[in-house]
């Protein structure tokens, strides 16, 4: 009916399922025990095809096509969400029609399932008026509506009070008689003890403990012996017989009881003349087995965490030493660079000082050579004629500079000046003639 092999699932760095393998026979009720967050809901989502496994195989009802098998599976989730404006009868009819059912068969089926779960009298009430326990029972009705071969139940009594839990357990007992194969995921031990044929403990992402419920309960027997007062020597002698034996002044408790161990303890007490007041077999509940598995798992996790912490500390120390070495090398390199810079600075200062001394000595040598040199005789200055400032006329043909003598240059200059004077003399004569006429006119006017 259910065959799961080497199933793995993780969310990022969080490993949820790690190598889980599970088999449930046809008609069997299997209880999967695990704390909150153990991966029970994730397993059911994988079985329904809502999630895909990272590794491993899942076969339900003889097939690995999970989508096709959904019509033959009833599912009761931990958190149920319904359209609260529908009545219980209306909602179940809607689900039946959605699944392909109809007609009188659907009406009869809806009424039958509501009566089975104890909601026949409130079938026409709105779901929004239902209590938590009523909604849980309604969830069973909707899961049974299609008469599934496999029923998956996730934390059915979560959020219910003790009376609601007892009522729901009784309801599941009725469902059990119908012959459905049931996988019950829960963290309540009494539900498994009362309902299930076999039990598996989901710890650390895998099944760590599995077996028949009745056999587990019969194997897990403890014995409590009430005696007269035990002295310290006898207490030490008893506890050294078997690690599972603990005792105090008047009580001996044997955790893992067996006929041979029980006979050995009783013989020790009789040899010491200690009166035995009462022998009381104590059936250790399934919860103790589960807690032992959880403790071992947590002990392993703590050991792994401790080792991981030691490895991390070792890596940290190694990194610290590496950084110290790098820092030492950096400081050495920095010191070397500083030494090189200081040497270069001193070299530059020495070179500049030597250059300054050389320039100073050179200046002193020039001054000394000047003082020791013979006096320089003065040479009279030769007066040179000023060059002509008037350029030649554009129409004049210049002579080569080497053939023009001083006299010829003066003649050319006079010619140019003469032409200018000729033009200006005519103008002056006209002006003088006008001036004379004006004077004569004034003289005649005065005579008259």
Q: How far is CA 225 from CA 220, 273, 286, in A?
A: 17, 15, 22
Shared domain for 197 and 273, answered yes or no, is no
Handedness of CA 265, 271, 272, 274 (dihedral sign): positive
Tens-place pLDDT, residues 111-136? 999 999 999 999 999 999 999 889 98
User: Given pLDDT bands bounded at 50, 70 and 90, which one contains residue 443?
Assistant: very low
Claim to verify: residue 117 and residue 247 sit in the same structural domain: no
Q: Domain range holding 272?
A: 221-283
In this predicted structure, the answer to whether residue 355 has a pLDDT above a threshold of 80 is no
Question: Are 8 and 148 members of one domain?
Answer: yes
Q: What is the reported pTM?
A: 0.58
For the sheet with 181-186, list strands across it: 73-76, 150-154, 181-186, 29-33, 198-203, 206-212
Position 432 in a domain:
no
pLDDT tens digit string along 333-345? 777 777 777 777 7
User: 256 with 115, same domain?
Assistant: no
DSSP assigned state of 127: G
Q: Is the pLDDT of residue 88 over 60?
A: yes
For residue 6, the domain's CATH number is: 3.40.50.300
Per-residue H/E/C for 198-234: EEEEEECCEEEEEEEHHHHHHHCEEEEEEECCCCHHH
Helix, strand or coil for residue 174? Answer: helix
In this predicted structure, what is the pLDDT of residue 200? 92
Q: How many domains does the chain have?
A: 2
Q: Residue 228 — φ and ψ, nearest 5°?
A: -70, 180
Lowest mean pLDDT among 173-187, 237-251, 262-276, 296-310: 296-310
Three-state secondary structure readout of 366-394: HHHHHHHCCCCCCCCCCCCCCCCCCCCCC
Residue 426 within a domain: no
Boundary (domain end) residue, out of 186, 217, 248: 217
198 and 65 within one domain: yes
Residues 203 and 274 in one domain: no
- Predicted local confidence at residue 447, as pLDDT: 47
Q: Identify which has the larger pLDDT, 439 or 57.
A: 57
Nearest to 150 by CA among 40, 60, 32: 60
Q: Is 249 in the same domain as 171?
A: no
Compute the distance between CA of residue 60 and CA of residue 39 in angstroms, rounded to an integer.
Answer: 19
Shared domain for 162 and 243, answered yes or no, is: no
Hey, which of 163-177, 205-219, 251-265, 360-374 has the most confident mean pLDDT? 163-177
Is 343 within a domain? Answer: no
Q: Is residue 235 part of a domain?
A: yes
Q: Is 108 a residue whose pLDDT tops 80? A: yes
Pair 33, 143 in one domain: yes
For 369-377, what is the mean pLDDT?
A: 58
pLDDT at 376 over 80: no
**What mean pLDDT, rounded, does the chain reach?**
78
Query: Looking at the structure, do residues 26 and 116 belong to the same domain, yes or no?
Result: yes
- Which of 283, 299, 330 is at the close of a domain? 283
**pLDDT score for 446:** 47
> Is 12 or 396 the better-scoring residue by pLDDT?
12
pLDDT at residue 393, rounded to an integer: 55
Whether the pLDDT of residue 314 is over 80: the answer is no
Decide if 417 is inside a domain: no
107 and 251 within one domain: no
321 within a domain of the structure (yes/no): no
Asked if residue 446 belongs to a domain, the reply is no
pLDDT at 320: 74
Q: How far apart are CA 350 and CA 331, in angstroms?
A: 28
**Tens digits of residue pLDDT in 167-217:** 888 888 888 888 889 999 998 888 888 889 999 999 888 898 888 887 776
pLDDT digits (tens, 9 = 90+) for 131-151: 988 998 999 999 999 889 999
pLDDT band, residue 448 (cuts 50/70/90): very low
Residue 335 lies in a domain: no
**18 & 82 share domain:** yes
Residues 6+ apart with CB under 8 A from 100: none
Tell which phi-psi region holds residue 63, choosing left (phi > 0), alpha (psi between -120 and 50) or beta: beta
Query: Which among 217, 232, 253 is the end of a domain?
Result: 217
């Amino acid at each position: 009916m259910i065959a799961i092999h080497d199933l793995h699932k993780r969310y990022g760095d969080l490993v949820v399922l790690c190598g889980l393998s599970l088999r449930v026979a046809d008609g069997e009720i299997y209880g999967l025990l695990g704390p909150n967050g153990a991966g029970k809901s994730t397993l059911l989502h994988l079985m329904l095809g809502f999630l895909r496994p990272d590794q491993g195989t899942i076969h339900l009802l003889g097939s690995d096509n999970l989508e096709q098998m959904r019509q033959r599976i009833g599912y009761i989730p931990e958190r149920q969400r319904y359209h609260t404006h529908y009545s219980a009868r209306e909602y179940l009819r809607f689900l039946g029609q959605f699944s392909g059912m109809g007609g009188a068969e659907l009406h009869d089926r809806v009424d039958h399932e509501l009566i089975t779960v104890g909601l026949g009298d409130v079938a026409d009430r709105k779901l929004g008026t239902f209590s938590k326990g009523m909604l849980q029972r309604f969830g069973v009705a909707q899961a049974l509506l299609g008469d599934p071969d496999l029923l998956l139940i996730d934390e059915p009594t979560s959020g219910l009070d003790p009376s609601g839990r007892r009522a729901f357990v009784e309801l599941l007992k009725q469902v059990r008689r119908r012959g459905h194969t049931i996988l019950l995921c829960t963290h309540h031990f009494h539900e498994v003890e009362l309902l299930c044929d076999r039990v598996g403990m989901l710890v650390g992402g895998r099944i760590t403990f599995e077996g028949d419920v009745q056999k587990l309960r019969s194997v897990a027997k403890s014995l409590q012996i009430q005696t007269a007062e035990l002295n310290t020597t006898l207490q030490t002698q008893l506890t050294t017989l078997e690690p599972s034996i603990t005792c105090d002044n008047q009580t001996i408790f044997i955790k893992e009881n067996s006929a041979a161990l029980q006979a050995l303890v009783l013989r020790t007490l009789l040899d010491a003349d200690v009166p035995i007041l009462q022998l009381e077999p104590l059936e250790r509940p399934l919860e103790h087995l589960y807690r032992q598995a959880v403790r071992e798992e947590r002990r392993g996790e703590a050991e792994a965490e401790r080792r991981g912490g030691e490895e991390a500390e070792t890596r940290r120390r190694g990194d610290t030493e590496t950084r110290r070495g790098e820092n030492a090398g950096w400081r050495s390199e920095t010191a070397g660079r500083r030494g090189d810079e200081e040497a270069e600075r001193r070299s530059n200062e020495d070179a500049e000082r030597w250059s300054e001394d050389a320039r100073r000595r050179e200046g002193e040598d020039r001054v000394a050579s000047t003082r020791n040199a013979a006096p320089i005789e003065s040479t009279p200055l030769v007066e040179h004629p000023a060059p002509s400032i008037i350029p030649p006329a554009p129409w004049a043909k210049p002579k080569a500079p080497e053939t023009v003598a001083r006299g010829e240059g003066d003649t050319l200059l006079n010619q140019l000046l003469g032409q200018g004077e000729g033009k200006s003399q005519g103008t002056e004569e006209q002006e003088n003639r006008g001036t004379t006429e004006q004077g004569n006119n004034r003289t005649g006017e005065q005579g008259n």
